[in-house]
Structure 1
Amino acid sequence: MASKKSILKKVQIVITKHFKTPEDAFNFFDKNGNRKLSKKEIVALLKEAEINGFIRGLVTTKLIEGYDKDGDGLIDWKEFKAAVAEIVKGSK
């Protein structure tokens, strides 16, 4: 099974290589434009990052549990920005 570090590295690669800014990535995956990423939208991001289908659901749940500070079950822009900052910090 992929390690947390390798999963976060893959997410970082998608965000930095395919988008000019983290906000561009957020907006791309926010398909319904509500400024929040749903579980389905996070799964799409992880799929783009080539995270194995078996663990995508687990990783999505852990991401929401770890970064959803307001408890609505979604990741808003502020929460996403915090996650990206942690991913970048962890890769250095």
Structure 2
Amino acid sequence: MLSKETILHKIQILITNHFETPEDAFAFFDKDGDGKLNKAEIVKLLKDAEITGFIRGMVSSKLIEGYDKDGDDLISWKEFKSAIDEITEESK
């Protein structure tokens, strides 16, 4: 299985190469426009970040588990930003 660092690095590459800002990336993947990413939306993000299909579902659950601070099984902009900040810190 890919390490957390590898997965976060692939997400960082996706956001850097395809979006002007993390906010643009969040809005792009928030298909229903509710201000939160659900599991299906996170799976799409992982697919676009070239995380293989075999582990995408497992990784999406772990991301939600790790970053969902309010316990609603969704990733809000604030929680997404926290993950992006972690990625940025690790790449310094």
Q: TM-score range by the shorter chain?
A: over 0.9
Q: Which amino acid aligns with 1:72?
A: D
RMSD: 0.8
**1: CA distance, partners of 2:35 / 2:75:** 9
* Counterpart for residue 10 of structure 1: 10
Alignment of 1:16-27 (within 5 A): 16-27=16-27
- Distance in structure 1 (CA, Å) of the matches to 2:59 and 2:90: 17
Q: Which residue of 1 aligns with 2:90?
A: 90
> Whole-Å Cα distance in 2 between the matches of residues 27 and 41 of structure 1?
11
Q: Following superposition, which runs of at least 4 residues in structure 1 exceed 4 angstroms of deviation?
A: none
Task: Give 2:66's aligned residue.
Answer: 66
TM-score, length basis structure 2: 0.96
Gaps of 5+ in 2: none
Unmatched 5+ residue regions in structure 1?
none
Aligned residues: 92
Residue 2 of structure 1 and its aligned partner are, at CA, apart by: 1.9
How far apart, CA to CA, are the structure 2 residues paired with 1:22 and 1:59? 20
CA deviation map 1:11-53 (0-9, x unaligned) = 0001111000000000000000000000000000000000011
